[in-house]
Amino acid sequence: MAIRKTNIRRWAVLCLTFLVLLGLSAPGCRQKPKQEPPPPPAVTVARPVEQRVTDFIEVTGNTQAVKTVQLRARVGGYLEKVLFQDGQLVKAGQLLFLIQQNTYQANIQQAEGTILLQKAQLEYATTELTRYSKLLLQKAAAQTDVDNWRFQRDSARANLISAEARRDLAKLDLGYTEVRAPFDGRIDRRLVDPGNLVGSGEATVLAAVNQIDPIYVYFNISDTDLARLRGEGQWAAERGLAKKWPVFMGLLEEKGYPNKGVLDFASISLTPTTGTLLMRGIFSNPRGKILPGVYARIRVPVRERPALLVQQEAIGSDQQGSFVLVVNAQNIVERRNVKPSVLLDGFRAIDEGLAAQEWVIVKGVQKGIPGQRVTPQRQADQGARRTSPQPEGFSSGAHP
């Protein structure tokens, strides 16, 4: 009996121990270790760059040759030679087409013969007039004889002048058989092949030549842009032309606006239907790479002004508009709604919404959440950027 009680106690102790161990292993009885909060995200910040920038008007336009001439056959005859390759550059005075010359050479010889005949007749009539004038004084000739030889002399003189004029015309016609380039430029394809009859009854078009150095670019600006150019009444078309107002141009395949020219024409009035003003720039084109009729991007500088610039990647946008994120003195992120404008070498000018002494997040923008703390790392001084490109004649601080 005593042994049985001892076994019962032993089993009770074992059960109690098991229950205690089971309770200690339960999830609710374990103590959770304390977790440290994550550190604020690291971002790179920089202050805006203060420098002067140039505002531009950006439009599109088309190139046009300074001169375009159709080469025509001014005399009739068979085309004997074509002395150029289609599309090549030509020089002023270069022989391009040759029309048969034998007929016109014969006309010159015929005119020279007529001149000799008229000179002989003039000399004979002059001699006879002198002789009969002396006989008249001696009462040996009649007045009618003197008058007749005076008429013969004057007629011969008039015929000589006419013959010389016909010779000059024949020489002109012979010169027209050689069709030459009127100026330096590029010639189009030939429209007539050798062996064809040209200039018979009409002035046959042989080819066209364009002068492309320099070259024109025509473009239109709106009345709003014209008001920007005029500023506070300090700019007018004639003064702008006199100052050689600068113009930049970029072709479709070019980056930026590498071609520099000047404004050389502005229309005297706006087009009523479009409210735009036609303008023209002239550009140097020594290698002929800019062809007439090409689409072109045009940039006209308006004025130079001080501005704050931030890196382009620091600017975000949403339904509220453009913004940048700044870090205040407490390392808290704040949003600044801004008005960006001119882009310059990867930096965007900020016209409104940002102060010069604020620290802008330039790297890690996606980590910055307004109202939350960050760990800012200041970027090294970015240094002064170059000013917006501007051609000669547009000085710093000058307003159009």
Q: CATH code at 287?
A: 2.40.30.170
In this structure, what CATH number is given to the domain that contains residue 368?
2.40.420.20
CA atoms of 321 and 260, how far apart (whole Å): 34
Residue 324 included in any domain: yes
Number of domains in the chain: 3
- Both 322 and 287 in a single domain? no
Q: Is 111 left (phi over 0), alpha (psi -120 to 50) or beta?
A: alpha
Contact 106, 132 (CB under 8 A): no
3-state secondary structure of 29: helix
CA atoms of 124 and 145, how far apart (whole Å): 15
Contact 281, 219 (CB under 8 A): yes
> For every one of its 400 residues, what pLDDT tens digit does the chain have, with 9 covering 90 and above?
555 555 556 655 555 565 555 554 555 445 556 677 788 899 999 999 999 988 889 999 999 999 999 999 999 999 999 999 999 999 999 999 999 999 999 999 999 999 999 999 999 999 988 888 888 788 877 888 888 889 999 999 999 999 999 999 999 999 999 999 999 999 999 999 999 999 888 889 999 999 999 999 999 999 999 888 887 455 666 666 667 889 999 999 999 899 999 999 999 899 999 999 999 999 999 888 899 999 999 999 888 889 999 999 999 999 999 999 999 999 999 999 999 988 888 899 999 999 999 999 999 889 889 999 999 999 876 654 544 444 333 443 333 3
Q: What tokens does 362 get?
A: 């330039």
User: Dihedral (C-alpha) 138, 140, 142, 145: value to the nearest 10 degrees?
Assistant: -100
What is the model's pLDDT at position 399? 34
Q: Domain boundary residue among 176, 205, 237?
A: 176
What is the model's pLDDT at position 346? 86
What is the model's pLDDT at position 187? 95
Residues 6+ apart with CB under 8 A from 328: 334
Write down the pTM of the prediction: 0.70
What is the model's pLDDT at position 395? 40
Residue whose C-alpha is closest to residue 156's, from 129, 119, 130, 116:
119
- Both 297 and 328 in a single domain? no
- Both 321 and 250 in a single domain? no
Q: Domain boundary residue among 176, 194, 225?
A: 176
- Both 236 and 157 in a single domain? no
Residue pointed to by tokens 């000399």:
123
Q: What tokens does 218 get?
A: 């025509």
Residue 314 included in any domain: yes
- Both 281 and 319 in a single domain? no
CA atoms of 102 and 86, how far apart (whole Å): 27
Residue 127 domain boundaries: 102-176
Residue 8 included in any domain: no
Residue whose C-alpha is closest to residue 308's, from 134, 81, 47:
47
Residue 75 included in any domain: no
What is the model's pLDDT at position 201? 80
Contact 43, 367 (CB under 8 A): yes
- Both 267 and 290 in a single domain? yes
Residue 282 included in any domain: yes
In this structure, what CATH number is given to the domain that contains residue 125?
1.10.287
The H-assigned helical ranges of the chain are 2-25, 102-137, 143-176, 223-230, 237-242
Q: What tokens does 219 get?
A: 């473009």
CA atoms of 187 and 139, how far apart (whole Å): 75
What is the model's pLDDT at position 302? 86
- Both 345 and 300 in a single domain? no
Contact 263, 15 (CB under 8 A): no
What is the model's pLDDT at position 139? 82
- Both 297 and 235 in a single domain? yes
What is the model's pLDDT at position 19? 56
Q: Domain boundary residue among 241, 271, 304?
A: 304
- The identity of residue 393, as a single letter, is G
- DSSP per residue over 248-276, as a string? EEEETTSSS--EEEEEEEE-SS-BTTTTE
- Both 228 and 297 in a single domain? yes
What is the model's pLDDT at position 391? 36
